[in-house]
């Protein structure tokens, strides 16, 4: 009999036995191919070192200007926080809040949270209330968008180069290095090793052990087991209970996301309504000696193309036009097929869901471009740029589609393929 601990796939709910992996190895679900866990050598020490370096770079990136613009001897410079402050001053507070949240607050919470969790372990102590901070870090990783910001800065630099002399700031290089470090932290941090270390320090103190429930059912839900999407722990549900709390990280547990399809449809409908003004209304209003010009998303793509920056034009078109539209279409397809209990190619539909989750954040590209242009092109009578109403609508579309993807439960794709679907908990 195999006594290896059980693990459940977070995308199709299939129960499987854990296996020992070689260094750098990855375990994937045998049914849907989702990544289950990795063997990250020396994970916690590497994550701590990278996090401390990232904190230093984050301070530098926000203490110095990210870019400057020089016209007739006048230089306008801005930090990222200063750019968000200008949006707020102009009355675009929803946009300012979104930029601050995704590029400053979330990366800061991710770095501070990981340092808070790992420094005490490095010193041989246990962090205070690790469950709360761990969930906060997991949430912050989903919303930090430093890599999208860097691409947005590059697009903005191309547009600014046609207006005046661009002066890259120290913060630009610091943010570029920070982007690489944050990606390395996400790749190095191993939640399994972290909880093993915490469990070892709490041995005999009530921390849950591994679940060795017999795999008499194909999925965790059929076996009456909750799978925690935060820390991955399997735990036994109380009799007739449909939700609970993870005994390790205190996250809310459920066999399937509550009202998953209803909430997905609600976010999707709202996103579809706002997608129209996001593409029809002006994204930017430019005032200059030659008059006033209103630019939509598509006119910005055309400008990049005609100015010779066709690679960036393609990137902006994909990120700001194609991705939001295709994401909405893909989510409509996933939600409708799950609602009709379709058995059509569940593995293909699961891959579509992964792609939707992966590319959704890149639609924020145009928001960051507008933010930098508004902050830098402030030459009074010569030229001034203000964010247009489409910027708020477009930002809302990005957030709503991300919420829709988060609300959709991919395990619904596979439930119909179970012979005893109607008996699912």
Identify the bridge partners of residue 35 per DSSP, sorted by sequence position: 28
Backbone angles phi, psi at 48, to 5 degrees: -65, -45
* pLDDT over threshold 80, residue 134: yes
Longest dimension (CA), the chain: 81
Between CA 359 and CA 327 the distance in angstroms is: 8
CA distances in angstroms from 198 to 11, 188, 202, listed in the order given: 26, 18, 6
> What pLDDT is recorded for position 420?
42
Over the stretch 193-215, which tens digit does the pLDDT of each residue have? 888 888 765 544 444 444 444 45
Over the stretch 7-52, which tens digit does the pLDDT of each residue have? 888 888 888 888 888 877 888 888 888 888 888 888 899 999 999 9
Model confidence band, residue 266 (pLDDT cutoffs 50, 70, 90) = very high
**Domain locations along the chain:** 1-39, 41-209, 259-425
Between CA 179 and CA 105 the distance in angstroms is: 15
* pLDDT over threshold 90, residue 341: no
Q: Are the CB atoms for 31 and 14 separated by under 8 Å? A: yes
Between CA 157 and CA 92 the distance in angstroms is: 22
3-state secondary structure of 243: strand
Say how many C-beta atoms besides its own lie within 10 A of residue 106's C-beta. 19
Would you give the DSSP letter of residue 207?
A: -
> What pLDDT is recorded for position 110?
94
């Amino acid at each position: 009999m195999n006594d290896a601990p059980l693990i459940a796939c977070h995308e199709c709910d299939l129960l499987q036995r854990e296996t020992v992996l070689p260094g750098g190895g990855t375990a994937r679900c045998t049914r849907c191919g989702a990544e289950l866990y990795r063997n990250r050598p020396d994970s916690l020490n590497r994550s701590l070192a990278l996090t401390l370096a990232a904190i230093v770079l984050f301070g530098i990136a926000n203490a110095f200007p990210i870019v400057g613009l020089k016209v007739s001897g006048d230089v306008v410079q801005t930090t990222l926080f200063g750019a968000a402050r200008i949006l707020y001053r102009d009355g675009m507070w929803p946009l300012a809040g979104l930029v601050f949240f995704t590029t400053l607050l979330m990366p800061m919470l991710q770095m501070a949270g990981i340092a808070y969790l790992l420094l005490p372990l490095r010193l041989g102590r246990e962090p205070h209330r690790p469950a709360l901070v761990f969930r906060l870090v997991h949430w912050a990783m989903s919303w930090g968008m430093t890599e999208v910001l860097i691409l947005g800065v590059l697009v903005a630099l191309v547009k600014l180069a046609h207006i005046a002399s661009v002066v890259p700031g120290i913060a630009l290089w610091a943010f570029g290095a920070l982007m690489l470090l944050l990606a390395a932290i996400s790749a190095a941090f191993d939640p399994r090793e972290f909880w093993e270390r915490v469990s070892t320090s709490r041995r005999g103190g009530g921390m849950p052990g591994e679940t060795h429930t017999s795999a008499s059912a194909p999925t965790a839900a059929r076996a009456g087991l909750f799978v925690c999407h935060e820390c991955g722990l399997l735990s036994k549900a109380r009799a007739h209970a449909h939700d609970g709390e993870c005994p390790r990280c205190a996250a809310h547990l459920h066999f399937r996301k509550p009202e998953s399809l209803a909430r997905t449809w609600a976010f999707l409908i709202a996103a579809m309504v706002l997608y129209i003004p996001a593409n029809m209304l002006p994204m930017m209003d430019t005032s200059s000696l030659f008059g006033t010009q209103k630019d939509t998303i598509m006119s910005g793509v055309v400008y990049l193309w005609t100015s010779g920056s066709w690679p960036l034009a393609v990137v902006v078109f994909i990120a700001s036009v194609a991705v939001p539209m295709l994401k909405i279409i893909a989510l409509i397809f996933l939600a409708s097929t799950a609602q009709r209990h379709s058995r059509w190619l569940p593995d293909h539909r699961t891959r579509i869901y992964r792609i939707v989750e992966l590319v959704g954040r890149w639609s924020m590209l145009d928001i960051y471009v507008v933010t930098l242009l508004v902050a830098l092109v402030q030459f009074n009578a010569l030229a001034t740029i203000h964010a247009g109403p489409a910027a708020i609508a477009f930002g809302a579309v990005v957030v709503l589609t991300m919420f829709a993807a988060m609300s959709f439960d991919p395990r619904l794709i596979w439930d119909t393929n179970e012979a005893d679907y109607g008996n699912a908990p």
